[in-house]
Amino acid sequence: MAPIDYDERIPNNVSLAADRRLLRALEDWQPKFLEWWHDMGPEGFQSKDVYLRTAVSVDPKGWAQFGYVKMPEYRWGIFLAEPEADRRINFGDHQGQPAWQDVPGEYRGTLRRLIVTQGDTEPASVEQQRHLGRTCPSLYDLRNLFQVNVEEGRHLWAMVYLLDAHFGRDGREESEALLQRRSGDHDKPRILGAFNEKTPDWLSFFMFCFFTDRDGKYQLASLAESGFDPLSRTCRFMLTEEAHHMFVGESGVGRIVQRACELMREHKTDDVRKHGGIDLPTMQKYINFHCSVSLDLFGSEVSTNAANFYTAGLKGRFEETKKTDDHRLKDGLYPVIGLDGDKIVARQEAALVSLNERLRDDYVADCQRGVNRWNEIIKSHGIDFTLTLPHRAFRRAIGTFAEVRVSPDGRVVSQAEWDARHRDWLPTEEDAAYVGSLMKPVTERGKMAGWIAPPARGVNSQAEDFEYVRLS
Ligand code: BYC
User: Which tens digits make up the pLDDT trace of 7-29?
Assistant: 678 888 899 999 999 999 999 99
Nearest alpha carbon to residue 135 among 470, 471, 446, 438: 438
Q: What is the pTM of this model?
A: 0.96
Cβ(239) to ligand 1 under 6 A?
no
206 CA to centre of ligand 1 in angstroms: 22
445 CA to centre of ligand 1 in angstroms: 41
> Residue 359 CA: which ligand 1 atom is closest?
55
Cβ(215) to ligand 1 under 6 A?
yes
Cβ(253) to ligand 1 under 6 A?
no
Cβ(213) to ligand 1 under 6 A?
yes
User: Which tens digits make up the pLDDT trace of 72-104?
Assistant: 999 898 999 999 999 999 999 999 999 999 999
Which helix (H) or strand (E) is 263 found in, with range?
helix 229-267
Which helix (H) or strand (E) is 413 found in, with range?
strand 412-413
Which residue, judged by its Cα, is nearest atom 44 of ligand 1? 299
> Cβ of 306: how many Cβ atoms within 10 Å?
24
Which residue, judged by its Cα, is nearest atom 20 of ligand 1? 118
**If phi over 0 gives left and psi between -120 and 50 gives alpha, with beta otherwise, what is residue 162?**
alpha
Q: Compute CA distances 398 → 116, 240, 426, whole Å.
A: 19, 29, 18
User: Which tens digits make up the pLDDT trace of 234-262?
Assistant: 999 999 889 999 999 999 999 999 999 99
pLDDT confidence bin for 63, thresholds 50/70/90: low
Q: What pLDDT sits at residue 65? A: 84
Which residue, judged by its Cα, is nearest atom 14 of ligand 1? 192
Complete DSSP assignment for 206-260: HHIIIIIHHHHHHHHHHHTT-SBHHHHHHHHHHHHHHHHHHHHHHHHHHHHHHHH
436 CA to centre of ligand 1 in angstroms: 30
218 CA to centre of ligand 1 in angstroms: 12
If one residue of 196, 336, 398, 401 were mutated to test the ligand 1 pocket, choosing by the most ligand atoms within 8 A of its CB, it would be 398
SS3 283: helix
397 CA to centre of ligand 1 in angstroms: 12
Q: What pLDDT sits at residue 60? A: 65
> Residue 152 CA: which ligand 1 atom is closest?
38
Nearest alpha carbon to residue 37 among 188, 150, 200, 160: 150
Q: What pLDDT sits at residue 197? A: 93
If one residue of 300, 317, 355, 363 were mutated to test the ligand 1 pocket, choosing by the most ligand atoms within 8 A of its CB, it would be 300
User: Which tens digits make up the pLDDT trace of 128-186?
Assistant: 999 999 999 999 999 999 999 999 999 999 999 999 999 999 999 999 999 999 999 99
Which residue, judged by its Cα, is nearest atom 19 of ligand 1? 305
Nearest alpha carbon to residue 124 among 164, 78, 177, 45: 177
Cβ(298) to ligand 1 under 6 A?
yes
Cβ(164) to ligand 1 under 6 A?
no
pLDDT at 1 over 60: no
Cβ(462) to ligand 1 under 6 A?
no
User: Which tens digits make up the pLDDT trace of 362-415?
Assistant: 999 999 999 999 999 999 999 999 999 999 999 999 999 999 999 999 999 999
User: Which tens digits make up the pLDDT trace of 404-418?
Assistant: 999 999 999 999 999
pLDDT at 286 over 80: yes
> Cβ of 46: how many Cβ atoms within 10 Å?
15
Contacts of 457 by beta carbon, 8 Å cutoff, 6+ apart? none
Which residue, judged by its Cα, is nearest atom 45 of ligand 1? 305
Q: Compute CA distances 216 → 79, 107, 184, 227, 446, whole Å.
A: 18, 23, 19, 19, 32
> Residue 297 CA: which ligand 1 atom is closest?
36
192 CA to centre of ligand 1 in angstroms: 6
Which residue, judged by its Cα, is nearest atom 5 of ligand 1? 299
